[in-house]
Structure formats: structure tokens, C-alpha cells
Structure 1
Amino acid sequence: MTEQEGADWIPPGADISRPSAARIYDYLLGGAHNLAADRAVAQRLEAIQPQVATVARRNRAFLRRVVRFMVEQGVRQFLDLGSGIPTVGNVHEVAQAVDPAARVVYVDYEPVAVAHSLLLLKDNPNAEAIEADATNTEVVLKSEPVRRLIDLDEPVGLLAVTLGHYLPPEPAPRTVFAAYRDALASGSYFALTHLTNDFAVLRDPKIAETMRSTQDHIYPRTRDEVLALFEGFELVEPGLTTSANWRPDRLAAVVDPEEDGLYAGVGVKP
């Protein structure tokens, strides 16, 4: 039996020979929805930097903390851009554990990620997934699931966790995020993590070179460049930091940014 024949989460016609960032991330998080091509790239990344799975887990923990924070601020609807494979601790699980009526739309351009998301969500009326390029803001915002589940006149939790560094210089990422910002109501929140060369753990150029073998190239950015993506939002405390150091759980130790690797922050639209 081939890998495709044995998996109902792989849509017909999907190119399983080409690795994707969504499935590589799933592998690094210990998930089961990845393919041989993805595992090969992930293992090459781990050979270059053995801490890459730790960085991925810290990033996922940031996502969970952010969703809980937004729910505490009264947000009950979320738009998750570049959502990938919805492994354990995904947005709708965290939000709906507090309020089962919380609504979530996942957005990804990777067909396997979306197909698995739809399987996971088939019995959940308050969560949906769409296959779309997050840079095409008009397509995303006018999609049927967004129009049905997201009220843009009320605060929204906009999530771009590990998305920004996959966006090439054109269209400019700050322009993409500004288009979403302009569509959101006051009181909406924006959460972002972004790979950078500012810190040692992910600075090795072989990491970017390895990702060029996938459909998702990476574009590390500096602190100032990442900070510019929050234009029009007011950063909440502790401002722009790293993923492990944004409001860590009470028992978590502070992590040296040099070992963390991803800028992270949350902003609110005035």
C-alpha cells in the first residue's frame, strides 16, 4: 500500500513528493500527518540544528497562550492564517474549551493541511478551514466560511504564527497584514511569530538552503522589519520578544533569546 492509498487525509491528486512547511512542522511537533518527503527535510534540519524541534514546540506553546489571552480579553472569533496541520492544542480546541461557541476559520494554501483540517472539523459547526493563499486578503475575507463565521464588526483574533517568514518581499508582508488590519474592528488582536537571523539558534544559512527544497522558502527578518508588521496595532506587554518569553506560563523558565529563534508579539487595534 502506498503512503497516499493509506491516508484518507491526503486529497486525490496531491503532490506528495514535494515537502511542505505545514507537514514538516507537524513532524517536528510529534504529529502523525506528515509524509516521507517531509520527514527527510525535517531530519536534515535537525542535523543542522538539533534544537529545531524545541523551537517548534515553543512556538506552538506561544500559540496556545495567545489564544487563551485573547479569549480572556473577550475575543470569540479567530482567523488563523497559514494554520498548517491542526495538531493537538490547535486554536479551536483552546478557544472552545473556554467557550464552545467560539468561532475559528483556518486558512492555508497547502491542500493536505486543509483536507485534514476539514476531516477534523466535520462535526464542529463553529470551525471551518479554507484553501487559500493568505496574501490574497480579498479572497480570504470574502470566502463563504469567513462571511458565515466571522463578524468583522466585532473584535477578531488574527493569528499569523510562523507565517510571516514564508512571505516573500513581494507582496510586502506589511502590506498584506495592513489589509487584514484595515478590515478588522477596533479591539481586534494580531499575533505573530517570525524567524530571524538576529539570534544564533536559527542563523545557520543551511537552514534556509534546506527549505528551498520545499514549496515554502523562508525569509528571515530583523527586529525592525518584524516590528513594522505591527503597524497600526499597539503592542501589549511585554512588547516584541521571543516566542518562549511572551507571557510564559508561571512555572516556565525564561529562555535566552539566542536559543529561542523567533520574534513574537501581540498587538491590539485601537
Structure 2
Amino acid sequence: MPEVDPQRPSGARIYDYYLGGPHHFAADRQAAAVVLVTIPDLPAVLRAGRDFLRRAVATVAEAGIDQYLDLGAGIPAPGSVTEVARAARPECRVVSVDVDPVAVVHGRRVAGDDPHAAVVLADLTDADTVLGSEPVRRVLDPGRPVCLLAVAVAHFIPDTERLGRALERYRDAAAPGSYLVMSHASHEGDPRAAEHILRVYNRTTSPMMLREREEFRALFGDWRLLPPGITCAGEWRPAADQDSAAAPGREVIVGVAVKP
């Protein structure tokens, strides 16, 4: 199992810290504080994206889906795919994939000896390796619908052609009735904040890029988007008591689609 260095800040643990998770060290909190000096609203934006994830997974689970392939899962945080899906379907199966050894270490510790959960250390753009891995073949049934998730990760893959090919491979492998849940950083909301976030992350080990709605829509291929289609995180099926117009997260565009 990969080693965890508590003295070296990790992008995955910093993200966990922003979300209110427990998997971070002093070095991660110090690095997060530096970013917050210039982008104080970043945690609220990230939490808005996480709230979308919860609503999307709940929607998919209510539709009957009981197996999930979480691509670029990161460190398990409150409101994780497993937590939300199992609230509706306790026996659901979840395989998480991440290229970051730190995220994989924490993910495997949380999964423990759960026979219906597994974590794969792999680059999600290497779709054949992911789909052919022992955990995926053991835990997921390719003959039944699955929910594919690529939440808060596609903007860290600047090679659009490579990303598109990988997602096409996952879509082709999925059974009819499968779902695809995605979110992505964009120029929407406050353009200056978006550009500032872009500059900050491009000085880290996790450079990122922003995509427009048309580019993001293309990543779903010919799958049918659920209403309201491509929209901001806070506007995708908000809770009845939520003011979507005032909600943070306009810098995050999202969508959920189903395979015909």
C-alpha cells in the first residue's frame, strides 16, 4: 500500500479539509490557509459541488441503481457516494478510482474488509486498465446498469481528446439504463474568481483547466441529460427550501445523463 507523508501537503487532503472531512494533517491545513487568503469563498464553492453530488447520487439510487464506479473519487468525505447511495440501497456496490496514492490509502482504510466496496489506484483516463482491474471485475456486474461518476475531476485533465476517449470507453462498456454524473469548473459565476482559482491550481501538482458548457456537454456523448440539463451546481434540482439563485457554486457546471 502507498505510504502517506504527513509532512507534505496533499491536494486530496486539502480538498478533504475544505469539505469538512477528517483526513488531513497540519501541513495540509497550513497550505489551505494560504489559498484562503486570496480565495476565501473556495470552500463554499467546493461544498456546493459536493451538495450536487449528494443530490445526484440520491436521484440515481432512487431510480434503482445499486452499483457505482466513482472515477477520481478522492478521499472519502462526509456525503460520499457510498454513504448517500447506501442510505437508499444498503447493499449497493461501490468501486472508487484515483490516481493519487494518498486518496487510495485513505479510501482503502475506510472500505476495510467490506466485500461490496473497493478502491483502485489508477489513472481514470486509462479506461481499459480500470475496467479490467480485479476490484472492478469482482465487485461490479457489467451486465447491469451502473452509475459512472466523474465529479470535480475532469478539469484536472487538460487533454480533452484523451478525456473524451476515456469517457467514451466507459460509456460503451456500460449497460443500457446506466447513468453518468459529472461536474466541472467553468468561467461562470465571478470570472475573476475563476481565473484566480485557475492560476493558484496551476502552480500546484494538480494543474487544471476551465471548460465551457458546450465542451462539457460533449463529454456525455449521446446519453440523454436529465432535466434541468447542463447547469450550475446550485441549480441542479435544489432542495425545496434552497434559494438556487443565491447559492454558491456558479463556477461549477454539472449534469446527469442516462444511457438509452
Q: Same fold (TM over 0.5)?
A: yes
Q: Secondary structure at the match of 2:107?
A: helix
1:150 CA displacement? 1.0
Any stretches of 5+ residues in structure 1 without a counterpart? Answer: 1-9
Residue type of the alignment partner of 2:123: D
Contact 1:105 1:128 in 2 (8 A): yes
Summarize deviations over 1:77-134 as a string: whole Å, max 9, x none: 0000110010111111111122221000000111111111111111322111111111
1:179 to 163, 169, 176: 169
Q: Secondary structure at the match of 1:83?
A: coil
Aligned to 2:65: 75
Identity fraction in percent: 42
Aligned to 1:194: 184
Contact 1:103 1:150 in 2 (8 A): yes
- The answer to whether the aligner puts 1:103 opposite 2:93 as a matched pair is yes
Any stretches of 5+ residues in structure 2 without a counterpart? Answer: none
Taking the aligned partners of 2:214 and 2:126, their CA distance within structure 1 comes to: 24
Summarize deviations over 1:212-259 as a string: whole Å, max 9, x none: 332211111111111111112110101001111111112111135885
Moved more, 213-222 or 199-208: 199-208
1:156 CA displacement? 0.5
1:205 CA displacement? 2.8
Contact 1:196 1:203 in 2 (8 A): no
Q: How does 1:48-197 map to 2 (within 5 A)?
A: 48-169=38-159, 171-197=161-187
Aligned to 1:223: 213
Q: Secondary structure at the match of 1:78?
A: strand
1:171 CA displacement? 4.6
Taking the aligned partners of 2:160 and 2:44, their CA distance within structure 1 comes to: 30
- The answer to whether the aligner puts 1:244 opposite 2:244 as a matched pair is no
Aligned to 1:7: none
When residues 201 and 125 of structure 1 are mapped into structure 2, their CA distance, relative to the original with a 3 A threshold, is: farther
When residues 152 and 238 of structure 1 are mapped into structure 2, their CA distance, relative to the original with a 3 A threshold, is: same
When residues 204 and 163 of structure 1 are mapped into structure 2, their CA distance, relative to the original with a 3 A threshold, is: closer
Summarize deviations over 1:63-86 as a string: whole Å, max 9, x none: 111111111111110000110010
Residue type of the alignment partner of 1:211: Y
TM-score normalised according to structure 2 size = 0.92
Taking the aligned partners of 2:102 and 2:159, their CA distance within structure 1 comes to: 26
When residues 127 and 51 of structure 1 are mapped into structure 2, their CA distance, relative to the original with a 3 A threshold, is: same
When residues 202 and 146 of structure 1 are mapped into structure 2, their CA distance, relative to the original with a 3 A threshold, is: farther
Taking the aligned partners of 1:19 and 1:156, their CA distance within structure 2 comes to: 34
TM-score normalised according to structure 1 size = 0.89
When residues 130 and 202 of structure 1 are mapped into structure 2, their CA distance, relative to the original with a 3 A threshold, is: farther
Summarize deviations over 1:9-54 as a string: whole Å, max 9, x none: x943x45565443222101112221234433442233222221111
